[in-house]
Amino acid sequence: MAPFRTVEWVGGTDGFLRLLDQTLLPTQVVYRDCRSVDEVCEAIRTLCVRGAPAIGVAAAFGLVLHMQQDDRASTERFFRLGCDQLGRTRPTAVNLRWALERMGRRFASAPANVDSEELRNRLLEEARAIAEEDRQMCAAIGRHGAALIADGQGVLTHCNTGALATAGTGTALAVLAAAAEQGKRLHVYADETRPLLQGARLTAWELRQLGIPVTLICDSMAAQVMQEKRVQLVIVGADRIAANGDTANKIGTYGVALLARAHGIPFYVAAPSSTFDLTLPGGEQIPIEQRDPREVSHGFGRQTAPDGVEVYNPAFDVTPHELIAGIVTEGGVIGPVHAESVRRHFQGRSSHP
Amino acid sequence: MAPFRTVEWVGGTDGFLRLLDQTLLPTQVVYRDCRSVDEVCEAIRTLCVRGAPAIGVAAAFGLVLHMQQDDRASTERFFRLGCDQLGRTRPTAVNLRWALERMGRRFASAPANVDSEELRNRLLEEARAIAEEDRQMCAAIGRHGAALIADGQGVLTHCNTGALATAGTGTALAVLAAAAEQGKRLHVYADETRPLLQGARLTAWELRQLGIPVTLICDSMAAQVMQEKRVQLVIVGADRIAANGDTANKIGTYGVALLARAHGIPFYVAAPSSTFDLTLPGGEQIPIEQRDPREVSHGFGRQTAPDGVEVYNPAFDVTPHELIAGIVTEGGVIGPVHAESVRRHFQGRSSHP
């Protein structure tokens, strides 16, 4: 159990959403209370809360905040406005859309004459269920993935996929935490993950809290670390996975996958099944969010590039399924990864969109 | 001709060395005057002056400053002290050692009874010759390399290899500048080059001064840029090249070479012949400088990683010759790259160590 709460609802239907402000880590641990859907949208956009599963949970609670303002004039239309507003914050993470759709089904299942207090009750219950299931999914991903890790291994990871990225113990980091709990000795190499340094600021911080040895490197050092045989496995998270297993994740992931392939190192993805978007046959259909050039040119309080320089700043890239040894989900490991093995994974699962 | 002077001797034998302080770019253009060998060593160590050829030139002038303090008690021993002090500043760049050895030969060629003013004169003459030859080498590298560039190409580069890295127009950037002068339309993608951001701070700044279109990316975006077919060629500089063509260059270069190979993009190195260290059969013998962890954990004037985190910060990596399509030197392009083609390149060249 992490000694911090990434995303937490405080109180009852008239309560509020408390987020750990991840933009201030690792030097300050500050919680931010959101009391409106606008504040939640702002928190998602500015990456105060980030990580695909955590964004989904935050958005679900954001809808409850939204419905606190419902004036009963046109409840369904008002509910949809909140969904639309939250859905526009981050275009790539599919868990966000998945959580909003699930909240929408719960909304639709309420009787026409339900009073607004009861409606908020039902929505809060659903949001809490999403958070609780996320916790359980993290634990299951950790269990399934830990079997892939051998004692004494070096493991490289990119971005942050731990308790800060989910309502539970994380995805890729949950695998490492579970392996460490089984007594396996690990050494993690954490890519700092430019431009926003989630690896340096968040992953290094979390791993130290978990007592797992970690060495921080710049993204550009991953190839050298592999060449020196310091790592035997790579594991990362995912923001959206297409039906054939092509995986969108933090920019830089695709490069790491190519480097792992060149060094004969297996490359794994860890993500809940809700990260799959089965409506997309392949990764080329995944929309890639472009972010503010200033994240690159003006990082961390200092201008590091000339005035007016052109910057390309895609937030994600897509790793083709051929480069992925396996996808660790709460239902087991999919691998080898291709459309057929993904289809088999979802056979008979009714809970998925 | 660059509108700035990277490294310049001001005055006669009692003059001083003026360096453009590259740690303050791109927001401030400040020159730093060095009047002692200690100041030159400090400038090299702190990367006020950087780039393998520029370091060699600065070190040669540093020796002249050193000899301004010669007390005639034991001139040769005193000269060697200066060489040792300068030689220890950066272990990987071979041009530094090469320049010091060349100054040593000039020192040794002086008659035993030479007076100290005349000795300084000869050493200053030699340092000026090294700088002038570097200028000519840059121009020749540009000429030979420009033929590799096709009109309309996208070119990716890593670190800084321009007028800021040499006494002339640069190495890899000289190639791009020469191609642009021939009327070829280029678009350069500049890796920002963590941890010290030479690409963001220096290359983007230089290319804008040259009027060559440039887009800045994080190092982790290179794979995506290649996958989107935005670049058709990669060209970088070198800090030391072994006898078989294995090339040490800024950390991240080896990864870029692997990514280029995976995308079928030719990867070139541009460097003067003085960058070769023919005493080393292969790249595994090149010493790799480890730098201060705080460059990674406290970049950008802000702490970006937890207190006490372990950091791995090699300044260079080695790209095996198999990944290099050609090495552009002042004497032509070596390619394909292997021990035999390198040997042929140096056949009959007496000027090389």
Asked if A195's CB is within 8 angstroms of B218's CB, the reply is yes
Asked if A193's CB is within 8 angstroms of B192's CB, the reply is no
Sequential pLDDT tens for chain B (353 residues): 567 899 999 999 999 999 999 999 999 999 999 999 999 999 999 999 999 999 999 999 999 999 999 866 678 999 999 999 999 999 887 899 999 999 999 999 999 888 889 999 999 999 999 999 999 999 999 999 999 999 999 999 999 999 999 999 999 999 999 999 999 999 999 999 999 999 999 999 999 999 999 999 999 999 999 999 999 999 999 999 999 999 999 999 999 999 999 999 999 999 999 999 999 999 999 999 999 999 999 976 789 999 999 999 999 999 999 999 999 999 999 999 999 999 999 996 644 44
Point out the residue among A192, A227, A296 whose CB comes nearest to the CB of B216.
A296
A107-149 pLDDT, tens per residue?
999 998 888 899 999 999 999 999 999 999 999 999 999 999 9
DSSP state of B154: E
The single-letter code of the amino acid at B192 is E
For residue A94 the two structure tokens come to 């599919």
How far apart, in Å, are the Cα atoms of A11 and each of A14, B213, B345?
Answer: 7, 55, 76
Return d(Cα B92, Cα B81) in angstroms, integer. Answer: 20
Partner residues linked to A332 by β-bridges? A329
- Residue B246's Cβ-count burial label (10 Å; 0-12, 13-18, 19+) is buried
The neighbour count for residue A350, using CB atoms within 10 Å, is 5
Chain A residues 236-275 with a CB less than 8 Å from chain B:
251-252, 254-255, 258-259, 261-262
pLDDT at B73: 64
Q: B75-87 and B52-67 are packed helices; what angle lies between their axes, rounded to 10 degrees? A: 150
Q: A52-67 and A116-146 are packed helices; what angle lies between their axes, rounded to 10 degrees? A: 170
DSSP state of B270: E
CB A127 within 8 A of CB A87: no
CB < 8 Å to A223, chain B: 252, 254-255, 258, 317
Distance from CA of B33 to the nearest CA of A (A): 24
Q: What is the mean pLDDT of residues A185-200?
A: 97
Pairing of β A332-334 and β A240-242? unpaired
Q: Does B211 touch chain A (CB under 8 A)?
A: no
pLDDT at B206: 95
Distance from CA of A223 to the nearest CA of B (A): 5
Return d(Cα A210, Cα A160) in angstroms, integer. Answer: 14
pLDDT at A353: 41
Return d(Cα A325, Cα A337) in angstroms, integer. Answer: 7
Phi, psi for B234 (deg, rounded to 5): -120, 135
Q: Quick check: A158 pLDDT over 70?
A: yes
Active site annotation includes A70 = no
CB A311 within 8 A of CB A305: yes
pLDDT at B313: 97
Q: Does A164 touch chain B (CB under 8 A)?
A: no
Pairing of β B7-10 and β B16-20? antiparallel
What ipTM was reported for this prediction? 0.93
DSSP assignment of B10-54 equals: ESSTT-EEEEE-TTSTTT---EEEE-SHHHHHHHHHTTSS-SHHH
Return d(Cα B25, Cα B12) in angstroms, integer. Answer: 29
Return d(Cα B274, Cα B264) in angstroms, integer. Answer: 30
Strand order in the sheet with A16-20: A7-10, A16-20, A31-34
Q: Does A348 touch chain B (CB under 8 A)?
A: no
Asked if A297's CB is within 8 angstroms of B220's CB, the reply is no
Q: Quick check: A284 pLDDT over 50?
A: yes
SS3 state at B146: helix
Q: Quick check: A67 pLDDT over 70?
A: yes
For residue A285 the two structure tokens come to 């259909």
CB < 8 Å to A27, chain B: 303
A211-261 pLDDT, tens per residue?
999 999 999 999 999 999 999 999 999 999 999 999 999 999 999 999 999
Residue with tokens 């050692």: B97
- In residues, how long is chain B? 353
